[in-house]
C-alpha cells in the first residue's frame, strides 16, 4: 500500500538540542538524541541525575513505539576502578504528576544471593535494545548491545537475589505509548554500595521511534536520515519537506532499498547536504528552497521537481540520476549514470560537468517525434563541460530501446542541448566527436553495431547548441552493386594504363 512503512532518523551528535522530524504518510519517526560531555562523578553510595527535554510532538511524533538507549560509564580513577556490580541506572520519561514511566537499565549486574559483588567491569559503553539477545545482567564485556535489566521490583540496596526473567517488568517497552506533556527524559545513575572506586557518567543518548504526524518539516540534524523500512516493496511516501543544514559527514541520508521507492512529494530544503544510498529509488518533488548538495551514491534518484539553481547534484559511481525536473549544477563522476525522464523524457540542469567513465543511458521510444518526449534529452541552460573527455578516456553512451528498431535507413536525434559547451575545440555543424564516446546499444538493430552510430555537433536553436546521435544509413544492395561496378571499371582502367 502506498504511504506505509517509512522510517525516519534524526541524529544529534553533541549538545542538548532536539532534532525534530515529521512525515505525512510515513508511519515511523525516529530521533537520536545524544547527551555528550556529561563527565559527572557518581558519589560514593550516591547518585546523579541527567535530564533532557525532547519535544517529540513538535518533532512530528504522535506516539512512542520503541526506545533504545546508549550509555557510557568509566572509572574516575583507574588506580581505584569502579565496579559495575555496584551500579544501578534507570531512565524515566515524564514526571510523577503525569504518571511517569520508568525503565531499569542496570540493577547491580551479576549480583545474586551467592555473589554479593557482581560484575567486576570497570567501564561500560553499551546500547540497550529490547530486541537484543541477552540481558545486561550477565554482561561479560563492556561493549555491545543488551536488553535492559528491567527488574524494577528488585531493591538495588537490598540483599542480592537470584536472577529470574519473571522479575523483568520494566524494560524499555515500559516507556512506550502516548506522549507526555513534560517532554522530560531523566537518566539516574547510582552507586549502591559504600567504598570502592567511583564511577563517572561520560555520556548517554536515546533513540525514540514512534508513529508520525501527517504534516510539517522533517528538520533532521547532522547524520539524520529518511528511509524506507527493510521489508516491503513499492512506493512509500513522505509529504513533508525534508530539511538539511549540515554538510560533509553530517549529511542527511536518503535510503531506499531494492524494489522500493521513497517518494519525497514536497522535496528538499536547506543549505546542507543529502546523500542517497541503497539500490532503490528516491523521487524528489519541488525543492526551490534547497541550495545545498545532493550526493547520489547508490541506486536511482528521480528529480521530478525544481531544485534551486544554486544547488549542486553529484552523481558518484553506482549512482543513477533521472527524472523530468530541473537541477542546479550537475557533476557526473566516473561510474555515474544519467538517464533523463522516467521513460523517454527531458531533464534540465543549470550547468553540468561530464566525467570520463560516466554513462548517458539514452532511451529511444520512437524513431521520429520530439526530443524530450519520444527520446531522451538532457538540456543545460548554462555550460556543459566535456573537458575531461578524450579519445583515451571516454564517456559512455548507451542507446536503449524497448523495441527492436531497425536503424539501417539512417536517423538523427538530438540528445543534448547546451548554451555553451566547454572542451570541444571545433563546434562547427556536423563535426564528428564520436572519438570521445564509447557507444553501445540495447534492443536496436544497427547493422554493424555499433560502428554505424556517430555523435555529431548539431545546429543551434534558441541559443542552445545540440549534440546529436546519428545512425548512419547502410547502403542499399543496388548502391553496393553500383559502387562495385564503378570500382571494377576503375581497376580495369588502371591496369590498361599500367600496360
| CA–CA separation, 257 and 7 (whole Å) | 12
Domain containing residue 43: CATH number: 2.60.120.260
Query: Domain for residue 288, yes or no?
Result: no
Q: Name the domain boundary from 190, 211, 232.
A: 211
Which pLDDT does position 214 carry in this prediction?
A: 59
Domain coverage including residue 427:
309-471
Q: What is the helix (H) or strand (E) element at residue 490, kind and residue range? A: helix 477-498
All cell numbers assigned to 225? 536520515
Query: Domain for residue 274, yes or no?
Result: no
- The radius of gyration of the chain from alpha carbons, rounded to an integer in Å, stands at 32
Query: Domain for residue 19, yes or no?
Result: no
Predicted TM-score of the model (pTM): 0.73
Which pLDDT does position 106 carry in this prediction?
A: 98
Which pLDDT does position 191 carry in this prediction?
A: 96
3-state secondary structure 146-210: EECCCCCCCCCCCCCCCCCHHHCCCCHHHHCEECCCCCEEEEEEEECCCCCCCEEEEEEEEEEEE
Which pLDDT does position 150 carry in this prediction?
A: 97
| CA–CA separation, 320 and 301 (whole Å) | 6
| CA–CA separation, 175 and 93 (whole Å) | 7
Query: Domain for residue 488, yes or no?
Result: no
Which pLDDT does position 479 carry in this prediction?
A: 45
Q: Do residues 31 and 143 both lie within one domain? A: yes
| CA–CA separation, 86 and 398 (whole Å) | 67
- Measured CA distances, 59 to 212, 216, 271 (Å): 9, 9, 20
Q: Do residues 195 and 325 both lie within one domain? A: no
SS3 489: helix
| CA–CA separation, 83 and 191 (whole Å) | 9
Per DSSP, which regions of 317-472 are E strands? 319-322, 326-332, 337-338, 346-354, 359-364, 377-385, 395-406, 411-422, 437-445, 453-461, 464-471
| CA–CA separation, 289 and 385 (whole Å) | 26
| CA–CA separation, 214 and 22 (whole Å) | 7
Query: Domain for residue 7, yes or no?
Result: no
Q: Do residues 55 and 195 both lie within one domain? A: yes
Which pLDDT does position 59 carry in this prediction?
A: 61
Q: Do residues 173 and 322 both lie within one domain? A: no
Query: Domain for residue 326, yes or no?
Result: yes
How many Cα atoms are found within 13 Å in the side-chain-facing hemisphere of 237? 11
Give the residue among 192, 66, 198, 188 at the shortest CA–CA distance from 132: 66
How does pLDDT run across 13-26, given as a tens digit for each residue?
A: 223 333 333 333 34
Please, are residues 70 and 201 in contact by the beta-carbon 8 Å criterion? no
All cell numbers assigned to 443? 534492443
Query: Domain for residue 496, yes or no?
Result: no
The number of domains in the chain is: 2
| CA–CA separation, 110 and 118 (whole Å) | 4
Please, are residues 147 and 136 in contact by the beta-carbon 8 Å criterion? yes
Q: Name the domain boundary from 211, 229, 262.
A: 211
Q: Do residues 169 and 43 both lie within one domain? A: yes
Q: Name the domain boundary from 193, 211, 229.
A: 211
Query: Domain for residue 291, yes or no?
Result: no
| CA–CA separation, 101 and 300 (whole Å) | 43
Given a cut of 70, the residues of the chain with pLDDT beneath it are: 1-30, 57-61, 211-215, 220-221, 229-232, 443-451, 474-499
Which pLDDT does position 450 carry in this prediction?
A: 61
| CA–CA separation, 204 and 35 (whole Å) | 5
Amino acid at each position: 500500500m502506498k504511504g506505509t512503512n517509512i522510517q525516519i532518523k534524526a541524529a544529534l551528535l553533541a549538545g542538548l538540542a532536539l532534532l525534530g522530524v515529521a512525515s505525512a504518510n510515513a508511519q515511523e519517526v525516529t530521533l537520536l538524541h545524544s547527551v555528550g560531555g556529561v563527565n559527572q562523578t557518581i558519589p560514593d553510595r550516591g547518585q546523579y541525575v541527567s535530564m533532557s527535554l525532547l519535544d517529540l510532538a513538535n518533532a512530528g511524533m504522535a506516539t512512542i513505539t520503541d526506545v533504545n538507549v546508549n550509555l557510557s560509564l568509566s572509572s574516575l580513577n583507574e588506580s581505584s576502578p569502579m565496579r559495575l556490580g555496584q551500579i544501578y541506572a534507570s531512565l524515566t520519561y515524564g514526571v510523577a504528576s503525569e504518571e511517569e514511566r520508568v525503565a531499569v537499565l542496570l540493577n547491580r549486574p551479576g549480583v545474586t544471593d551467592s555473589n554479593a559483588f557482581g560484575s567486576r567491569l570497570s567501564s561500560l559503553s553499551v546500547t540497550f535494545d529490547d530486541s537484543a539477545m541477552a540481558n545486561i545482567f550477565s554482561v561479560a564485556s563492556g561493549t555491545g548491545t543488551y536488553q535492559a535489566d528491567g527488574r524494577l521490583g528488585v531493591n538495588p540496596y537490598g540483599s542480592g537475589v537470584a536472577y529470574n526473567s519473571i522479575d523483568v517488568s520494566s524494560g524499555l517497552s515500559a516507556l512506550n505509548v502516548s506522549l507526555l506533556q513534560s517532554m522530560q527524559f531523566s537518566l539516574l545513575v547510582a552507586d549502591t554500595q559504600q567504598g570502592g572506586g567511583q564511577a563517572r557518567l561520560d555520556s548517554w543518548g536515546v533513540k525514540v521511534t514512534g508513529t508520525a504526524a501527517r504534516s510539517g518539516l522533517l528538520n533532521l540534524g547532522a547524520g539524520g536520515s529518511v528511509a524506507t523500512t527493510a521489508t516491503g516493496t513499492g512506493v512509500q511516501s513522505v509529504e513533508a519537506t525534508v530539511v538539511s543544514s549540515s554538510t560533509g559527514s553530517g549529511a542527511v541520508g536518503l535510503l531506499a532499498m531494492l524494489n522500493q521507492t521513497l517518494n519525497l512529494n514536497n522535496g528538499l530544503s536547506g543549505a546542507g547536504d543529502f546523500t542517497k544510498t541503497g539500490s532503490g529509488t528516491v523521487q524528489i518533488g519541488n525543492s526551490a528552497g534547497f541550495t545545498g548538495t545532493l550526493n547520489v551514491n547508490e541506486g536511482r534518484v528521480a528529480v521530478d521537481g525544481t531544485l534551486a539553481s544554486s544547488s549542486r547534484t553529484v552523481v558518484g559511481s553506482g549512482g543513477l540520476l533521472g527524472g523530468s525536473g530541473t537541477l542546479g549544477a550537475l557533476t557526473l563522476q566516473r561510474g555515474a549514470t544519467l538517464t533523463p525522464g522516467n521513460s523517454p523524457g527531458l531533464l534540465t540542469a543549470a550547468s553540468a560537468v561530464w566525467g570520463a567513465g560516466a554513462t548517458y543511458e539514452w532511451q529511444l521510444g520512437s524513431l521520429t517525434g520530439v526530443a524530450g518526449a519520444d527520446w531522451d534529452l538532457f538540456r543545460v541552460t548554462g555550460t556543459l563541460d566535456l573537458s575531461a573527455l578524450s579519445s583515451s578516456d571516454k564517456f559512455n553512451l548507451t542507446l536503449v530501446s524497448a523495441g527492436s528498431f531497425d536503424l539501417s535507413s539512417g536517423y538523427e536525434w538530438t540528445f543534448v542541448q547546451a548554451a555553451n559547451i566547454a572542451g570541444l575545440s571545433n563546434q562547427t555543424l556536423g563535426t564528428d566527436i564520436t572519438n570521445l564516446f564509447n557507444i553501445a546499444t540495447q534492443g536496436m538493430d544497427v547493422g554493424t553495431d555499433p560502428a554505424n552510430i556517430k555523435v555529431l555537433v548539431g545546429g543551434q536553436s534558441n541559443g542552445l547548441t545540440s549534440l546529436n546521435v546519428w545512425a548512419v544509413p547502410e547502403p542499399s544492395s543496388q548502391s553496393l552493386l553500383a559502387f562495385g561496378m564503378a570500382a571494377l571499371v576503375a581497376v580495369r582502367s588502371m591496369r590498361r594504363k599500367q600496360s
